[in-house]
Every structure is written in structure tokens, then in C-alpha cells.
Amino acid sequence: MRIIDISHPVGAGVGVWPGDERFALEWTLSQDRGDSVNVAAVTLSVHTGTHADGPHHVLRHGARARDLPLQAFIGRALVVDMRGAAVMDERVIEGVAIEPGVRVLFRQRESVDPRDFPTNFLAPTPALARRLVALGVPLVGTDAPSMDPFDSKSLETHRVFAEAGVMTLENLFLVDVSPGEYTLVALPLALVDADSSPVRAVLIDDEAVRQSFSG
């Protein structure tokens, strides 16, 4: 079994959306100071690094992180390589066999520096989002930091997915991942009131595991 970590490391200097809460860590207990244990406390935006966008991010009465359907974040996933595309529209899935129930993860970036926050990236058009909803996809992921363009105010693609109950993952680390089918595990934290949640996302490259999630 091969497990591929597709999560951004989260630490000092990690890039965040401009104006969002930056990551900070402090040691509340430290053996270097004579304490019996080491205990860290962190401050961060729930959109730091690799994360699940919950419906409440864009919908006033949308589900919050604790209530996201966990089954959407575990199961068969298809990595689609769209490097070189000029627009992230329906053409990026032409010729791609997408079965109902299979999660779709889009790779567009050649390299990633977690310290940098890119503002020039492709985002799914609302038409592509509606097509994926119609195909019965339970989750869509991207290695970009958003499902909408950086300067979007309407966040239409976010809303298409949220209103249809399709979960989304953003800021995946797919640089070393080949296109094809895997098993995804990317569970959000049970944050009671938060709109979204960081995740530790992995892909499992094992046929037996994929078969166990064939449903």
C-alpha cells in the first residue's frame, strides 16, 4: 500500500489569503522551561493550508464543519491532470470517465511553495461545477487556493457546489501525483461553529482498498 500525503505543511510563514489570520504557534508548557511536558497552542484561519470549505462559508444557513458528511471525504477519487489548460471549463473533463460517486481532484500546478499565496490560478467555471454536480460527484478538490477566481466577489462556483451538497477541498498538494484513480481520505475536524476546517489529506494507491470503496 502506498500512501501519498497531499496536504500542505502548516507552520510559520505559511501563505494565507491576503488579510486572513496568519498561523502562529506558542509553547504554553515547555520542558526547556522546567515543565514536565511540551504543549503547543496554535492560532490559524480554518482556511490555512489544505482545507475543506463548508457550505456555511458562502451560505448563511449552510452546514458547518462539524456537520459535514464524512462519507464525502473518504472513498474513490480521480486525479485529473489539467496542466496547460487556459480555462478550467467543461473541456478539462472531456474524455474523462467520471462515474457517479467518484470524487474528482484537479491538478494544475507544476510546483508549490507553501510560503507563497498564489493569486493567478484557474478556478472551475460555474458551468463545469454544474456538470460535475450532474455527474453525481460528491466532492471536488483543487490544488488552487479557491474554487473561484482570486478577485471573485459572487463566489458563484462555491455556491453551485454548496447548494448541491457537493463538498470541496482547496489547496491540495498534487505536485507528485500522477493522474488516475486512488482512495481519498481527507477528514475535516469536528469544529462546532466554524464554516470550514483544515484537513490532513492523503491518497491511497492500492487496488484492494479501492475495491473496498467501490460503492
What's 179's domain CATH number? 3.50.30.50
User: In the chain, what percentage of residues exceed pLDDT 70?
Assistant: 99
In a domain, 156, yes or no: yes
Give me the pLDDT at residue 135, please: 98
End-to-end Cα distance, the chain: 20
Give me the pLDDT at residue 208, please: 75
Catalytic residue among 47, 57, 61, 158: 57
Q: Based on the structure, what is the number of domains in the chain?
A: 1
At residue 162, the 3 state secondary structure works out as helix
In a domain, 123, yes or no: yes
Tell me how crowded residue 35 is: count the other CB atoms within 10 A of its CB. Answer: 12
Cβ partners under 8 Å of residue 60, min gap 6: none
Q: Examine the pLDDT at 215 and tell me if it is beyond 60.
A: no
In a domain, 30, yes or no: no
In a domain, 191, yes or no: yes
Domain range for 72 is: 2-6+46-212
In a domain, 36, yes or no: no
Backbone angles phi, psi at 162, to 5 degrees: -65, -45
Active site residue 57: yes
Read off the pLDDT of residues 146-198 as tens digits, 9 standing for 90 and up: 999 999 999 999 999 999 999 999 999 999 899 999 999 999 999 999 999 99
In a domain, 24, yes or no: no
